[in-house]
Amino acid sequence: MRIGDEYDIVVIGAGPAGSTAAKFAADKASVLVVDKHREIGSPKRCGEGVGIRTFNEFGIPIDKRFINTEIYGSVVYAPNGKELKVRQENIMGYVIERKIFDKYLATDAVRNGATVVAESHASLWKEDGKLVGVKVKHQGEKLYVRSKMVIAADGVESQIARDMGIDTTLVPYEADSCIEYEMCGIDFDEMDLLHVFVGQELAPRGYVWVFPKDDDRANVGIGIVGNEKKTAKYYLDRFIAKRPGLMQGSILEVNVGSVPVGGFMEDFVKDNFMVVGDAARQINPMHGGGIYEVMLGGKLAGDIAGKAIEENNMDLIKNYAKMWESVRGQRLKKVLKVRNFIEKLNDKEIDYLADIWSGEDLFELTRGNYVSVFKKIIKHPKLLKMAKNLILS
Ligand SMILES: Cc1cc2nc3c(=O)[nH]c(=O)nc-3n(C[C@H](O)[C@H](O)[C@H](O)COP(=O)(O)OP(=O)(O)OC[C@H]3O[C@@H](n4cnc5c(N)ncnc54)[C@H](O)[C@@H]3O)c2cc1C
């Protein structure tokens, strides 16, 4: 396979955001996707929990090759051990195999007309200050690829947008720092639910997750606020050490990474350049779930980029931020408000909420529907005051 010299659009990064953007852009334009890794989807850096709507909305087949477990609900464990459980009869989501899933999304982009090339590290190519394409280091070769547009989908550490003059820097508070072990040989109950453990003592601002991949295998991970002095590994190892059913397991894989949960960018576009996905902080700030969000951000970007090429009108992409804001941004900003409320609580207050809220209430909160849920806080003066401020802001 040879990378061609010229495309309408080059997408940097073949994660879920990049492959989805490429798939939709390829309806109307010639598209190249480059990824620096030798294998798309690897390393995984993910708990691999995905809601059913990602499959429904993006027409992804229920393919055993990338589905490990059917998930019927979740349990959130408060610091005092109280369980907020939701269990449904229907499948609510899956724990997937990201390495195969991401490759499937790239395959889907290729089958829709895009060209995808792994082991290709890209940087921006500018002439007289104008973006004219990308420079690619591909298997020891340095190639220049001309394009009318570049889409950066290069993940949370995004350097590309910064090189274009868009500030994507995250201060430590704005990111959760994560570590995860894929463990096998564990003994854990209800391996058809997602398990989430919360509490400031346990995981400052974040949570520990046990996302089952088999009856005896799960992703066991943690995300904590990025400016916490102790490491995520310290908290995760301490959590596991207290649970013999996990302690007995072997570690098949260790993944580290961060999640940009601190807020949203105002704009994602500069001239003939767009940024999407984690690189653009398109993520649910409550639980850090990004797969659905970045695919949605990627689809919107791919659609508008393809249209701009087809109509030879680069100004069209200036509407991207407004489009994302109305389709998704406004909702995610509500979720961020709830997260900002919850992160200020101590463990006693979290226990109090666990007594008055249900598992369904938590679901509503992750969707940004908080008014009716917060009305339940009438008997706790401090929380009521905080909730009032949240509702009025
Ligand atoms: C520990 C952890 C657990 C998570 N768990 C979940 C979960 O259970 N469910 C969920 O929905 N989300 C989860 N997330 C979030 C989810 O993984 C991300 O939101 C998602 O992967 C972001 O997709 P993306 O395409 O924007 O970026 P990525 O998936 O990060 O893809 C970016 C791609 O860009 C490539 N790249 C970077 N720079 C260059 C360059 N210069 N040239 C070429 N290629 C480049 C990289 O190789 C990479 O393949 C988790 C995240 C972490 C860190």
Judgement on whether residues 152 and 192 belong to the same structural domain of the protein: no
Question: How confident is residue 1, by pLDDT bands cut at 50, 70 and 90?
Answer: low
Check pocket membership of 232 for ligand 1, CB cut-off 6 A: no
Check pocket membership of 155 for ligand 1, CB cut-off 6 A: yes
Tell me the pLDDT of the chain averaged across its residues.
Answer: 94
- Write out the residue range of the structural domain in which residue 381 sits: 336-392
Check pocket membership of 318 for ligand 1, CB cut-off 6 A: no
Residue 59 lies in a domain: no
Helix 381-392 crosses helix 330-342 at what angle (to 10 degrees)? 160
Q: Which residues contact 274 (CB under 8 A, 6 or more apart)?
A: 149, 150, 151, 152, 268, 301, 305, 317, 320
Ligand 1 centroid – CA 37 distance (Å): 12
Q: What is the pLDDT of residue 391?
A: 66
Mutation probe of ligand 1 site: the residue of 20, 36, 99, 158 with most atoms within 8 A of C-beta: 36
Residues 76-107 have pLDDT tens digits of: 999 999 999 999 999 999 999 999 999 999 99
Residue 55 lies in a domain: no
- Residue 67: phi and psi, rounded to 5, are -110, 120
Q: What is the pLDDT of residue 77?
A: 97
Q: Which residues contact 234 (CB under 8 A, 6 or more apart)?
A: none
Does the pLDDT value for residue 253 go beyond 80? yes
Ligand 1 atom 17, closest CA: 46
Q: What is the pLDDT of residue 80?
A: 94
Mutation probe of ligand 1 site: the residue of 291, 295, 324 with most atoms within 8 A of C-beta: 291
Q: Which residue has the higher pLDDT, 173 or 190?
A: 190
Residue 74 lies in a domain: yes
Ligand 1 centroid – CA 385 distance (Å): 37
Residues 2-60 have pLDDT tens digits of: 677 899 999 999 999 999 999 999 999 999 999 999 999 999 999 999 999 999 999 99
Report, as an integer, the average pLDDT of 194-210: 97
Judgement on whether residues 314 and 202 belong to the same structural domain of the protein: no
Judgement on whether residues 286 and 147 belong to the same structural domain of the protein: yes
Report, as an integer, the average pLDDT of 164-172: 90
Judgement on whether residues 212 and 294 belong to the same structural domain of the protein: no
Ligand 1 centroid – CA 15 distance (Å): 6
For the CA of 259, the closest atom of ligand 1 is 53
Judgement on whether residues 189 and 301 belong to the same structural domain of the protein: no
Using alpha carbons only, give the angle 94, 96, 98 rounded to the nearest 5 degrees.
Answer: 150
Judgement on whether residues 17 and 125 belong to the same structural domain of the protein: yes
Ligand 1 centroid – CA 157 distance (Å): 9
Q: What is the pLDDT of residue 381?
A: 73
Question: pTM of the full predicted structure?
Answer: 0.96
What are the CA-CA distances from residue 172 to residues 99, 264, 291, 329 (Å)?
A: 28, 15, 22, 22
Q: What is the pLDDT of residue 153?
A: 98
- 150: CATH: 3.50.50.60
Judgement on whether residues 28 and 115 belong to the same structural domain of the protein: yes
Q: Looking at the 3D structure of the chain, how many domains does it have?
A: 3
Residue 1 lies in a domain: no
Check pocket membership of 278 for ligand 1, CB cut-off 6 A: yes
Ligand 1 atom 52, closest CA: 46
Does the pLDDT value for residue 372 go beyond 70? yes
For the CA of 51, the closest atom of ligand 1 is 11
Ligand 1 atom 15, closest CA: 290
